[in-house]
Amino acid sequence: MEYQDFLKTKKIATQYSGTDYIGELNKSLFDYQRDCVQFHLKCGRSAAFLDTGLGKSIVSLEYGRIVNQLENKPVLMLAPLAVGQQHAKEAAKFNIDAEVKFIREPQDRVNGINITNYDNMHKFDPSDYAGVILDESSIIKNYNGATTRKLMAAWDRHKWKLAATATPSPNDHMELGQHSQFLGAMDSNEMLARFFISDQEQMGKYRLKGYAVKDFWSWVASWARCATRPSDLGYSDDGFVLPELKTIKHIVEADISCNTGDLLFRIPETSATSIHNEKRLTAQQRAMRVAEILTPDDTWAIWCDTDYEADALLAEIPDAVEIRGSMKSELKEELLVAFSAGEIKRLITKPKLAGFGLNWQHCHKTAFIGLSFSYEQYYQAIRRFWRFGQKNAVESHIVMSDTEAQIYNVIQRKMKDHENMKTEMAEAMKREVITKTVKHAYEGNQKPKLPTFLKG
């Protein structure tokens, strides 16, 4: 027993800096969401890794409301384009008991929850706010990114910080390290040294030490709530069953007798440059196939990876509306809101522009004119439609040339890695959360005994 007690002292867990809030929470919260809000308030600085459709929005807004109430100071929420306005509407829908306003300029702030886009964050002084909420916080995954460095520095000393995103990228433990560092749980370099080992087979990559897997996920569970379904946190999945996802591949044959150089036939390579060369050669054919797939009466979101693919699609689908990165933020936001409202029937854009945070359950048919090596972008794009609340089976059409098969194989491998990662996170939650925080009705198994002085 002494040795077991000694081992417990070695367990790594985050020191909480928040509050044991016992006030009344929003009645729209499900029980698992209520537990998440109470956990985030207790931590002060924590992460909500809740899969798409599990209610990150209401959890984040309610967290912000309580922080605003406790500190009597505004809270800032940062969100991707068009998502901020969506959150403001949801705040009204869920009767969040605080003033919630989408703003673009700091002088428009209210003493409540102020929502703005990441594009505008340089305008806002962190000292004016009690805390910050990062919606789609995977934006901080890039260790050397300018946005990540600015966020780390700007909010370093704040007591109240919430990072909300769906399950982190598959096998990308560095993203967890970045979240941990932003939230003050542990520096990412220390996390790597403690739990990981450099993988000599993949230069620059790290893998979990075999004996550290359980301890690592238990540590994550001390500062984050991770769930792909309510049962991961000990609750019923009733009402949270996803509809069917139909993935349909369409293969376009590439002409390997052109652009051969000194060879008889072109041999495609897997480097980024070679893949783009291949995609250019088949862009028109793939666009034609996408146009053939589209059904006239349905709403469609069509995803591309490059501008030349978007140009090819527009040539074949003249009634489609495109959102391109070179557009002004206000125009991109206006078009995204219009598609969300059902005013645009066919949208062409890229996952990195519109694949994060938006709720598009009104649409259940989507098409990809090829894929990139980023599984996260593919997963997030699919999840705009295939999420809890979707009433129809979702059709995902992938149009690719036979020379792009390697990309599809990589996406499939990353998909398996993602499922394994979600399983590990779910098991950690069950170990750390269900046994400690979920309340069960008391069932006495001992007969009561009267004290001696009361006996006759």
Q: Are residues 308 and 394 in the same domain?
A: yes
Tally of CB atoms within 10 A around 90: 18
Distances (CA, A) of 357 to 81, 165, 203, 336: 9, 8, 32, 12
Asked whether residue 57 carries a pLDDT value surpassing 80, the answer given is yes
Q: Residue 318, SS3?
A: coil
Residue 169: what pLDDT? 57
Cα-based torsion angle of the residue sequence 372, 375, 377, 379 in order, rounded to the nearest 10 degrees: 130
Residue 409: what pLDDT? 83
Q: Are residues 204 and 258 in the same domain?
A: no
pLDDT: which is higher, 104 or 138: 104
Q: What is the DSSP letter of 261?
A: T
Asked whether residue 431 carries a pLDDT value surpassing 80, the answer given is no
pTM, full prediction: 0.81
Q: Are residues 82 and 213 in the same domain?
A: yes
- Dist. CA 183–CA 164, nearest whole Å: 12
- Closest among 317, 349, 320, 318 to 333, alpha carbons compared: 349
Question: Considering the domain boundaries, does residue 419 fall inside one?
Answer: no
Say which CATH number the domain at 129 has.
3.40.50.10810
Place of tokens 């990165």: 325
Residue 261: what pLDDT? 56
Q: Are residues 251 and 230 in the same domain?
A: no
pLDDT band at 440 (very low <50, low <70, confident <90, very high): very low
State the Rg of the chain over Cα.
25
Using the 3D structure, point to which of 376, 394, 413 is the last residue of a domain: 413
Domain that holds residue 251: 245-413
The 10 Å CB-count burial string (b at 16+, else e) for 347-384 is: bbbbbbbbbbbbbbbebbbbbbbbbbebbbbbbbbbbb
What is the average per-residue pLDDT within 416-445?
66
Q: What is the DSSP letter of 430?
A: I
Q: Are residues 292 and 380 in the same domain?
A: yes
Are the CB atoms for 366 and 301 separated by under 8 Å? yes
Give the pair of three-digit tokens for residue 101.
């306003």
Question: Considering the domain boundaries, does residue 369 fall inside one?
Answer: yes
Q: Are residues 260 and 204 in the same domain?
A: no
pLDDT: which is higher, 312 or 258: 312
Using the 3D structure, point to which of 191, 222, 238 is the last residue of a domain: 238
What mean pLDDT is reported for the chain? 85
Domain count, the chain: 2
- Dist. CA 173–CA 192, nearest whole Å: 9
Question: Considering the domain boundaries, does residue 405 fall inside one?
Answer: yes
pLDDT: which is higher, 84 or 271: 84
Question: Considering the domain boundaries, does residue 454 fall inside one?
Answer: no
Cβ neighbors of 167 (< 8 A, separation 6 or more) are 49, 51, 226, 228, 418, 421, 422, 425
